[in-house]
Structure 1
Amino acid sequence: MDMMLIESMYQKVYSGYPELLEVKDLCRMLGYERKKVYRLINEGQIKRIPCGRKIKVAKASVIEFVLQCAQK
């Protein structure tokens, strides 16, 4: 991935979101329903961070997912 593009998205597009995201944050960021977000996480398309029973995702993982989708 182009590091400048990732950094740009990190600062401009998703700057208002915390570094560790919950499913509700992902739904807002991506515009997807909860069911689709859970599916993406379970399929490994978005990497999750083990955190007990809660699902946490690093903001960098979401940006990587978005950039990969844009390249398809």
Structure 2
Amino acid sequence: MDSIPLEVVYKNMYSEYPEILEVKDLCEILGYGKKKVYQLVKEGQLKKIPCGRTIKVAKVTVIDFVLQCAQK
């Protein structure tokens, strides 16, 4: 079976979401509660975009996280 090129994966995964995600989006995508999302950001597993006290994460970061988790 041929693997799907990464460009296609990044273009199509979570295409209904904006390029910059907020905590509520992260909770929906990952299926986690707010507490777990905050923990992932604090531990550096999800790299946040500096934006004051608001947590914002690039969608590409979330896709990388999901793909890494799928390989474990």
Instruction: Please list every run of at least 4 consecutive aligned residues from structure 1 whose deviation after the TM superposition is greater than 2 angstroms.
Output: 7-13
Shift of 1:8: 2.6
- How many residue pairs match? The answer is 69
Shift of 1:11: 2.7
Q: Which runs of 5+ in 1 are unaligned?
A: none
Identity of aligned residues (%): 69
Which residue of structure 2 aligns with residue 65 of structure 1?
65
For residues 37-65 of structure 1, give each alpha carbon's deviation from its aligned partner in whole angstroms, at most 9, with x where no partner exists.
11001000011000011011000000000
* TM-score, length of structure 1 as denominator length: 0.87
The structure with the greater share of residues assigned to helix is: 1
Q: Distance in 1 between matches of 2:60 and 2:25?
A: 13
SS in 1 for 2:62: helix
* TM-score, length of structure 2 as denominator length: 0.87
Which residue of structure 2 aligns with residue 45 of structure 1?
45
Which residue of structure 1 aligns with residue 12 of structure 2?
12
Q: Do the aligned residues in 1 keep the contact of 2:23 with 2:55 (CA within 8 Å)?
A: yes
Q: Which runs of 5+ in 2 are unaligned?
A: none
* Superposed CA RMSD: 1.5
